[in-house]
Structure 1
Amino acid sequence: MPPRLPLQLPRRRFRSALLGLTAALMATLTGPAHSQQAPPVRVTKAETAPIIREVQLTGTVTSPKVARVSTSVGGLVETMRVDSGDRVEAGMPLLKLDRKLEKLQLRQERAAVAEAEEQLADARRRLSEARRLVRNQNIPESEVRSREAEVRIEQAALERLRARAEHQAERVARHSVDAPFNGVVSRKLTAAGEWVDPGTAVVELVAMDGLRLDFQAPQGYYPRIDAGAPIRVRLESVPDNPLDGRVAATIPVSDPEARTFTVRVHMNREEVPITPGMSASATLPLETGRRGVVVPRDALLRYPDGRKTVWVVEKDGDGHVAREHKVQTGLSFDGRVEIRSGLEAGARVVTRGNEALQEGQRVRLVGSNRAASD
């Protein structure tokens, strides 16, 4: 049977145990273990860099070719070969018009050509006979000249009839409307059985190759945007995947009401799933021509009363302490913030773990940016 523990320690032993516990607690608070309780923070150095102004733009995906394909002759739609959404290649028939009467007219014109060819051949034969007879002085010289003129007249008549036949053949061919380029039929504007007049649009065709983006920019930025400038684009189809692009051209025609001009952008990736008419946004970086102190955006804390602060880590003996600096900010760009006042370049600012720091609190540096403390 185990011995019973005393219900009460003697007063001297109790006081000794209490003093030992207190000493152990003080050693815990002041020893190496206490330093491990300092909150971990990640820091980086504030640096001097060129200040960039980021201009936010909105725009639309556009196609380099959009055509309302029309007929050059009138007629009854016999066959409609495409529908909205169909992809077509250049030269592919889109529709055919009834051309039966036009074909009959072409047969008449070709028959007239054949008749004129026979008449010309007969005129040439009679001219050849006249030239042979004139050498024997059996007919006068004037008869030869008359038959030469007859040959020229028949020749001209034949050329005229051939031109008419070619014209009619072209009319027959134009009763078939073909795609002028590769693209997608965005709208079908007629159907079989309808009558169309010359110039009537039958389909709307949109090219899907070489799509570009057109953004509207405030006219004040026109002199500062150059062709080839980089631009960051976000598309409606991939909103979480910003893409790199290049300014292809600035179109120097301002909208008099909106006071904007067009910035045309070409994408660097052809496989991006985009279609004409899709909305897009872009960030265009423009140099301001000045330099200043910048810190990562995560280093800045904003308060409801409008204050903006940055926590700075300073060396304190063999450790580090946090100090809060009230700052005035400028432009934000590329994940960084310009600091107009309240901070100098080279200061070690906290980018992680700064949400609950207190003035003068000891901190422990962690993470890949710990080298900023060196």
Structure 2
Amino acid sequence: MIKYTAMQNKFSAVSLCALLAIMLIVAPQQGLAQKKKDKKKGRPPAVVELATVIERNISASINLTGAVQALTESVVAAEVNGRVIKFSKKEGDEVKRNETVALLDRTSYRIILRGAKGQLVKAEIALERARLAAKRAKELFEQKIASEEVEQNAELDVKMAEAEIMLRKADLEQAEYNLARCEVRAPYNGFVARKLTDVGNWVNDGDGLFEIIDIHRIEVVVEAPERYLREFSMGREAQVTLDAYPGKTFKGKIAAVSPKADLKSRTFRVKVGMDNPNSAIKAGMLARVTVTTSEQKDVVLIPRDAIVWRARRAMVFTVNEGKAKSAIVTIGRQQGAFVEASGAIKRGMKLIVTGNEILRDGSPVNVVGEKSYK
């Protein structure tokens, strides 16, 4: 019984060894067969999208950033001393030329005016008396009752009285002028940009009351580097864009170029004039000025996404019978989502713009759609 069991164990060990040997022989053959099968099947096609090569007219330009300023801007000051009793306009209000904006207390100036009128009447009476006295002195001189000296003095008194009339008239005009200056008026059509004092404050002659600006026509001020100065000739057209109005472009013209550079920045101040009929553009807004320096027509443009770099060369891929085909291109300036390009490409060609990073010549591709660019 014991002998039988030993023989049985020996047989089992031999069987196990034989099975392992068979597996070692068969497994590599199966793996090799699978590899051959996979190789025969090939890599799955790359999923790609296409875009069209276009032609556009493009231009070279200079772009500078600046700020909007009013063509006319003034601080309106008091011309007489007095207390502010009223502001008829608030900040932001539109005003017309000669419209009253602020009012000073006129009480003392009215009193002075009445006094000036009284002094003039008094001087007129004195003149009339002097004329009568001169007439009487002349008659007495002709009758040889009065001396020539008396007659001459009487005539001088008339001239003195006439001079006094002139002085009193000047005082009256000054009093009328000062009274009128208590009404502070707008010097031109515009907007009240800022109040510089408040009702109840005392102001002296020359103190600022409010700031007024005219933005019906405006200027955009930029600082141009000297290398660009020759491009900023008087009257040349410029395009202006504003962050406040995205997507809109305004037209202007070069209105002024400073003849002197800033010694620190070596830039020249350039002003671009433009109309602002609705006063929609406000002083102080950020603005960007573009001046076109040259223009090219029918330039071939390809999407930036179509370009892949291989060995420091720009390359694009087209699709030919379901497979990728490469072409070397020379690229130029960027134009938004596009790039200027030359080489074996032309308008209307379809280029691969997605999934092109891993492509090689002859790689199978699966086109799933077309991508559009603006």
Query: How many angstroms apart in 2 are the aligned matches of 1:327 and 1:245?
Result: 38
Q: Which residue of 2 aligns with 1:370?
A: none
Equivalent residue number for residue 307 of structure 2? 302
Residue 65 of structure 1: SS of its match in structure 2?
strand
- Unaligned runs of 5+ residues in structure 1 are 1-38, 362-374
* 1:61-93: CA deviation from partner (whole Å, max 9, x where unpaired): 210111121112221112222211211111111
Name the structure 2 match of 1:343: 343
Give the whole-Å Cα distance in 1 for the aligned partners of 2:337 and 2:233.
23
Q: Does 1:147 align with 2:154?
A: yes
2:30 is aligned to: none
1:162 and 2:169 are equivalent in the alignment? yes
- Is the 8 Å Cα contact of residues 53 and 302 (structure 2) preserved in structure 1? no
Q: CA distance change for structure 1 residues 44 and 191 in 2, over 3 Å: closer, same or farther?
A: closer
Amino acid at match of 1:279: L
Counterpart residue identity of residue 154, structure 2: R
Q: Which residue of 214, 228, 233 corresponds with 1:226?
A: 233
Within 5 Å, give how 1:50-61 maps onto structure 2: 53-61=60-68
2:257 to 250, 258, 273: 250
Q: Which has the larger radius of gyration?
A: 2
> 1:144 & 1:154 partners in 2: Cα distance?
16
1:69 matched to 2:76? The reply is yes
Secondary structure of the 2:343 match is coil
One-letter amino acid of the counterpart of residue 295, structure 1: V
CA distance in 1, matches of 2:274, 2:69: 12
Pair 1:150–1:189, CA change in 2 (3 A): same
Check 1:161–1:255 CA distance in 2 against 1; reply closer, same or farther (3 A cut): same
Structure 2 segments unaligned to the other structure (5+ residues): 1-48, 365-374
Looking at structure 1, the residues matched to 95 and 272 of structure 2 have their Cα atoms a distance apart, in angstroms, of: 26
Secondary structure of the corresponding residue to residue 267 of structure 1: strand
Q: Which residue of 1 aligns with 2:123?
A: 116
When the two structures are aligned, how many residues end up with a matched partner? 315
1:184 matches 2:182? no
* C-alpha spacing 1:191/1:272, structure 2 compared with 1 (3 Å): closer
Partner of 1:99: 106
CA deviation string 1:336-361 (max 9, x = no partner) = 8555xx538xx624466542688689
Structure 1 residues 275 and 292 mapped into 2: Cα distance closer, same or farther (>3 Å)?
closer
Determine if contact 1:94/1:178 at 8 Å carries over to the other structure: yes
1:33 maps to which residue? none
Aligned counterpart, 2:353? 355
Aligned to 1:209: 216
User: 5 Å matches for 1:129-148?
Assistant: 129-148=136-155
Over 3 Å counting, the alpha-carbon distance change for 1:109 and 1:327 in structure 2 is same
Change (3 A) 1:269 1:161: closer
Mapped partners of 1:121, 1:40: distance in 2: 106
